[in-house]
């Protein structure tokens, strides 16, 4: 069916108005804590979201090493994407990898920028580690953790949460 020129123009304007109208989520945005987001006078919404997003990714990496220090290896393992599958090892192999480790001190250096691709967000976190072993040896490591989270409609809470995607960590001593 062909639309008359005036009717077609009215339809195009209606679609444009609908597409540009604020959505419920953009009218009332919530911070990750569940509290309303801070006033816009503190920075743009994109800056606030980005800062909160980076903080959220940082807290996952801190939780990862806190779990390792408490010997909660399954909890740490599950902070990798795919419930641990992104670590490319089994839970048992993961656990054995920390058999001689008594504690790990994590230092997160300046995070990279959040990058987007194919419905996901990625963030590189450069780190330094000091690991103490059972026999008193101290090892130093440097590397980068890449964090990932999904941002597509329909993604589950788990998929939208930051998880460890890859890690490149090497001994420096």
pLDDT class of 172 with cuts at 50, 70, 90: very high
The answer to whether residues 32 and 56 touch, using CB atoms and an 8 Å cutoff, is yes
138: tokens are 């101290």
Tokens of 85: 């599958």
* Stretch 52-78: mean pLDDT: 97
- Return the DSSP state at 82: G
**How many CB atoms within 10 Å of residue 147?**
28
Spatial neighbors of 97 by CB under 8 A, at least 6 apart, are 89
Q: What is the pLDDT of residues 8-28, one digit of tens each?
A: 333 333 333 333 333 333 322
Q: Rounded CA gap, 77 and 144, in Å? A: 17
pLDDT tens, residue by residue, 55-64: 999 999 999 9
Provide the b/e sequence for 72-103 (b: ≥16 CB within 10 Å): ebeebbbbbbeebebbeeeeeebeeebeeeee
What is the pLDDT, as a whole number, of residue 34? 34
Length of the chain: 173
Q: What residue ranges define each of the domains in the chain, with the CATH number in brackets?
A: 48-171 (3.10.450.50)
What tens digit of pLDDT does each residue of 130-171 get?
Answer: 999 999 999 999 999 999 999 999 999 999 999 999 999 999
Structure tokens at 84: 């641990």
CB 79 within 8 A of CB 162: no
50: confidence class by pLDDT, cuts 50, 70, 90:
confident
């Amino acid at each position: 069916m062909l639309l008359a020129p005036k009717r077609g123009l009215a339809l195009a304007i209606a679609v444009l108005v609908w597409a540009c109208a604020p959505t419920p989520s953009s009218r009332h945005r919530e911070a990750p804590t569940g509290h309303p987001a801070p006033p816009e006078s503190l920075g743009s919404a994109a800056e606030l979201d980005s800062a909160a997003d980076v903080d959220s990714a940082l807290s996952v990496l801190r939780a990862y090493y806190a779990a390792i220090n408490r010997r909660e290896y399954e909890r740490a393992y599950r902070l990798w994407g795919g419930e641990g599958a992104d670590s490319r090892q089994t839970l048992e192999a993961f656990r054995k990898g920390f058999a001689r480790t008594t504690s790990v001190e994590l230092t997160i250096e300046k995070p990279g920028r959040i990058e987007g691709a194919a419905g996901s967000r990625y963030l590189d976190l450069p780190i330094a580690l000091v690991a103490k072993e059972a026999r008193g040896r101290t090892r130093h490591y440097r590397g980068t953790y890449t964090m990932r989270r999904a941002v597509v409609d329909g993604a589950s809470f788990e998929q939208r949460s930051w998880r460890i995607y890859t890690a490149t960590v090497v001994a420096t001593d």
